[in-house]
Amino acid sequence: MPQVRVVLRALALLQLAEDASAPRIAKVIPLTPQAIRRLGHRYEKTGLDGALYEKQRPGASEVRDTNEKQHIIAMVCSEPPEGRAGGPCGW
């Protein structure tokens, strides 16, 4: 999927270079006029690579640390309490 984005951005930049308006470009390339204008500004500011490729984004932080994850796995995979059915690990 990222390669498709790069191609669409390149096509939009080519159209911008030919002085086509963002709304006109959006009729033939599946990007919004606003996205096309932002792309043009990003090209002017950061060059071709900056316009075509996205910067690496930081991922979401872990909700649980390794110790907590191991505790949950051990609890789920242990023997169930008296009178309860087995968990997903106790086939």
pLDDT above 50 (res 51):
yes
- Residue 12 inside a domain? The answer is yes
Could you tell me which residue, 37 or 68, shows the higher pLDDT? 37
- Residue 42 inside a domain? The answer is yes
What's the domain range around 17?
A: 2-52
Sequence-distant contacts of 27-33: CB under 8 A, at least 24 apart:
none
Q: What is the mean pLDDT of residues 63-67?
A: 86
- Residue 46 inside a domain? The answer is yes
pLDDT in tens, 23-33: 999 999 999 99
pLDDT above 70 (res 22):
yes
